[in-house]
Chain A
Amino acid sequence: MTALLESSPPVTPAVPRRRRNGRRTLDFIAVHSVALALGLMFTLPLVFVFLTAVMSDQQALSSELWPREWHFENFVAVFQKAPMFTYLTNSLVYSVLATAGMLLSSIPAAYALARFRWRGGNLAFMLVIAAMMLPPQVTAVPLYSMWASGHLTGTLWPLIVPYFVGDAFSIFLLRQFFLTIPEDYLDAARMDGCSEFQVLYRVLLPMTKPGIAAAALFTFLYTWNDYFGPLLYVGERQESWTLSVALASFRGMHRTTQWNLTMAATTLVLVPVVVLFLFAQKSFVRGLTFTGIKG
């Protein structure tokens, strides 16, 4: 289960020997051509985005699919058209600080929910799930008013601060990981005189590194991709825009119908995510299967 994206033993139904070979070949061809078609279907939209990103202005307005000349300078032009470095910095500030805050606040909370028996423990876990499932729009009005009365709307703080007091999804995910470590290990550490704090940071954390990595990745991605939050709190103040907000307004803002630059900007926003994924495939998949029912 940990290596889902790598090859794992395929589910091949055993067929009586006599009929095996012929049917197997047919089956193989059928399955692999469908898989190939699916693979293309999932990839082609991104390929078209990239191909359009490097087209000339005129060609990008035509319906041609393949660039006649490769204008890689379009990626530079995006930075000249819009203050992309500012947006990039804002996105990084939001994502990095939120991820750091999540780790600080959610690891202890998840540990407490996974490893302490106390009255209200179940209720607390239900509250975590309820908070995790709550549509962000439900609480938007009072939260906006709250931040506005502190004159903090227009800054990134309303987006970052909540992560320093626990993120429900991360607590849920980390708790699932913590539950997989046998209590005996922790007891052994306690016998040796470790405090609960040491048990958590010296024993449990080193054993659940993949879980911590998954939680950090998901938080980073969620905040990097977030649109509703930044639109709500910094939408009116352009110098605080994140990449998502900037990208959504890119086409309208520059009074242009130039699809090539819009697609170049799109490429720039999605490339970091793809690279991050390629480096951390295992953590992603492990985290994913843990959010499901089983681990």
Chain B
Amino acid sequence: MTATLHSPAREQRTSPAPGKGRGRIRNRNRLWLLVFLSPWAIGLVVFFIYPLLATAYFSLTNYNGLDSANFVGLRNFVYLFTGDEIVRTAAYNTLWLVVVLTVLRVAFSLGVAAVLARVQKGGGLFRVLCYLPSLVPPVAATLTFVFVLNPQIGPVNTLLRHVGIDGPLWFNDPNLSKPALTLLTLWGSGELMIIILAALLDVPKDLYEAAQLDGAGAWTQFRRITLPTIAPVLLFGMVNSIIFALQYFTQAIVAGSVASGSADMVGNSQIIGYPNNSTLTFPVWLYQQGFRAYHMGYASAMAVVLFVVSFAFTALLIRQLRGAAHTEGARS
């Protein structure tokens, strides 16, 4: 087991070359540090720190992308939390995805990985088959599922019809569009499966053997040995899935627009969220407000809210990663 998230300090040793003073080495290193880091430092300021500050500023204005921004205080936030009916739907949809997607994605990936870990014949092939869909570009994957789940001609409903079941409307039913998106996302969660599979294969085998000698059944072994050992990876998967769900945009906006059968370009405000705003996620509404309706001040206020929520989860992830690094360090 090698931890890769040690703080750099721990493995760093400056070794002075013979005959040279420490001070000179340090100065030389400082110069190289500057050379190596400056492109990234510029990028950090221009594409991360500046836009974050600017978003915070715009959120307090009525900026519309053309005229100069006027300061309006907290009016955007007041409207966001009390006035905008649609943002409430959008927040609900995103929350739905955060809860359902996160739980199902981790559980499903764990289930598939557990099966893959026990496959003896053709393991490589099965792994490739399970992983492949996660590589499919999101737009192509969404089109695939809108077609496969098409109520009239889609293969799924056709097969259901063969066994005498009247298939549902899937992406055309406000109650089923989010579950359909969930299916689409589970289909493409091969990355998490492989990460969990790696963790499963790393569980020391003698632990299982010892447990068997003590007469522990499969479930007890899973609960007492497997789960505790791979818990850090599962937690990583959880936080990762939460942040993924908070940004859920492409699949939602493309599924809504393609399923609506509308002739308009994707992102058109009439078809956004089809059917019935059920695929209108928070980032989709942010995009619509900011770049279709040019309510850029208001979109910035939404961005601030999105930032605060996702930053909270990122902080959780960082804490967990550091915690993992520390325990690893203690063990080795």
Cβ-defined contact, B1 with A294, below 8 A: yes
Q: Which of B143, B257, B265, B283 gathers most chain A CB within 10 Å?
A: B143
Q: Quick one: which of A9-68 are within 8 Å of B by CB?
A: 10-16, 27-28, 31-32, 34-36, 38-39, 41-46, 48-49, 52, 60-63, 65
Interface stretch among B79-87, B99-107, B171-179, B187-195? Answer: B187-195
Asked whether A140 is an interface residue with its Cβ less than 8 Å from the other chain, the reply is yes
- Residue of A117, A135, A227, A257 near B138 (CB, 8 A) is A227
- Residue of A28, A129, A266 near B143 (CB, 8 A) is A266
Complex Cα distance, B41 from A171, in Å, reads 12
Cβ-defined contact, B12 with A227, below 8 A: no
* With known contacts A6-B124, A108-B39, A191-B17, A31–B118 Cβ distance under 8 A: yes
Asked whether B126 is an interface residue with its Cβ less than 8 Å from the other chain, the reply is yes
Tally of A interface residues using CB under 8 Å: 127
Complex Cα distance, B10 from A121, in Å, reads 12
Q: Quick one: which of A196-238 are within 8 Å of B by CB?
A: 196-197, 200, 221, 224-225, 227-228, 231-232, 235
Q: Which of A1, A141, A196, A273 gathers most chain B CB within 10 Å?
A: A141
Could you say which residues of chain A place their CB within 8 Å of the CB of B47?
Answer: 139, 143, 162, 165
Could you say which residues of chain B place their CB within 8 Å of the CB of A283?
Answer: none
Cβ-defined contact, B236 with A8, below 8 A: no
Of all chain A residues, the one with the shortest Cβ separation from B32 is: A196
Cβ-defined contact, B4 with A179, below 8 A: yes
Asked whether A81 is an interface residue with its Cβ less than 8 Å from the other chain, the reply is no
Could you say which residues of chain A place their CB within 8 Å of the CB of B190?
Answer: 42
Cβ-defined contact, A273 with B137, below 8 A: yes
Asked whether B96 is an interface residue with its Cβ less than 8 Å from the other chain, the reply is no
Cβ-defined contact, A122 with B36, below 8 A: no
- Residue of B120, B140, B153, B257 near A10 (CB, 8 A) is B120
Could you say which residues of chain A place their CB within 8 Å of the CB of B202?
Answer: 1, 294
* With known contacts A15-B212, A179-B11, A248-B254, A135–B283 Cβ distance under 8 A: yes
Could you say which residues of chain A place their CB within 8 Å of the CB of B194?
Answer: 4-5, 285, 288-289
Could you say which residues of chain B place their CB within 8 Å of the CB of A239?
Answer: none
7 closest Cβ contacts across the A-B interface? A165-B43, A166-B40, A142-B54, A139-B51, A108-B36, A109-B40, A112-B36
Q: Other than the known A35-B126, A294-B4, what 14 A-B pairs have Cβ atoms closer than 8 Å?
A: A7-B122, A35-B122, A43-B132, A49-B144, A63-B161, A127-B48, A130-B48, A138-B55, A176-B4, A176-B5, A197-B32, A247-B140, A262-B143, A270-B140
Q: Report B's interface with A, CB cutoff 8 A.
A: 1-9, 11-15, 17, 28-30, 32-33, 35-37, 39-40, 42-44, 46-48, 50-52, 54-55, 58, 63, 65, 112, 115-133, 135-145, 147-148, 150, 152-155, 157-158, 161, 187, 190-191, 194-195, 197-203, 205, 208-209, 212, 218, 221, 232-233, 236, 243, 246-247, 249-250, 254, 257-258, 261-267, 283, 286-287, 290-291, 296, 299-300, 303-304, 306-307, 310-311, 313-314, 317-318, 321, 324
Q: Report A's interface with B, CB cutoff 8 A.
A: 1, 4-8, 10-16, 27-28, 31-32, 34-36, 38-39, 41-46, 48-49, 52, 60-63, 65, 104-106, 108-109, 111-118, 121-122, 124-127, 129-131, 133-146, 148, 162, 164-166, 171, 176, 179-180, 183, 187, 190-191, 195-197, 200, 221, 224-225, 227-228, 231-232, 235, 243-245, 247-249, 251-253, 255, 257, 259, 262-263, 266, 269-270, 273-274, 277, 281, 285, 288-295
Show 6 residue pairs from A and B whose CB-CB distance is below 8 angstroms, ordered by the A residue: A39-B130, A41-B187, A61-B153, A63-B157, A162-B47, A197-B32
